[in-house]
Amino acid sequence: MNFRVATLNMEQDHKRWDQRRELIVEQLAAIDPDLFAMNEVCVPLQSAHWIRDALRTRYGKHYALVQQTRVNGLSAVEGEALLTRLPIVETGNLDYRTRDIVALVARVLVGSTPIDVYVTHLFMSRGEESLRVYQVTQLLEWVERRKDAAARIVCGDFNATLDKPSAALMSRQFRPTQTASTAFTPLADSDGSVSHPTWPRMDRCIDYIWIAGPLEVAASAVCFDRGHPADPTLYPSDHAGVRADLMLGT
What are 70-103's pLDDT values in tens digits? 999 999 999 999 999 999 999 999 999 999 999 9
pLDDT for the residue numbered 1 = 84
| pLDDT > 90 fraction of the chain, expressed in percent and rounded | 97
What residues contact 104, with CB distance under 8 A and at least 6 apart?
66, 67, 68, 80, 81, 82, 91, 92, 93, 94, 118, 119, 120
Give yes or no for residue 125 having a pLDDT over 90.
no
Q: Rounded mean pLDDT of the chain?
A: 97
Domain 2-248 coded CATH 3.60.10.10: yes
| Residue 159, SS3 per DSSP | coil
Rounded to whole angstroms, what are the CA distances from 155 to 3, 39, 56, 58, 139? 15, 9, 23, 26, 12
Q: What is the pTM of this model?
A: 0.98
Domain ranges of the chain: 2-248
pLDDT for the residue numbered 134 = 97
pLDDT for the residue numbered 16 = 98
Band the pLDDT of 231: cuts 50, 70, 90.
very high
- Which value, in Å, is the radius of gyration of the alpha carbons in the chain? 17
* Residues 226, 98: Cα–Cα separation, whole Å: 34
* Residues 124, 147: Cα–Cα separation, whole Å: 28
pLDDT for the residue numbered 48 = 98
CA dihedral 109, 75, 17, 187 (to 10 degrees): -90
CB atoms within 10 A of CB 159: 23
* Residues 112, 77: Cα–Cα separation, whole Å: 36
Where does residue 11 fall: left (phi above 0), alpha (psi -120 to 50 degrees), or beta otherwise?
Answer: left
* Residues 229, 139: Cα–Cα separation, whole Å: 39
Cα–chain center distance at 134:
20
* Residues 85, 228: Cα–Cα separation, whole Å: 28
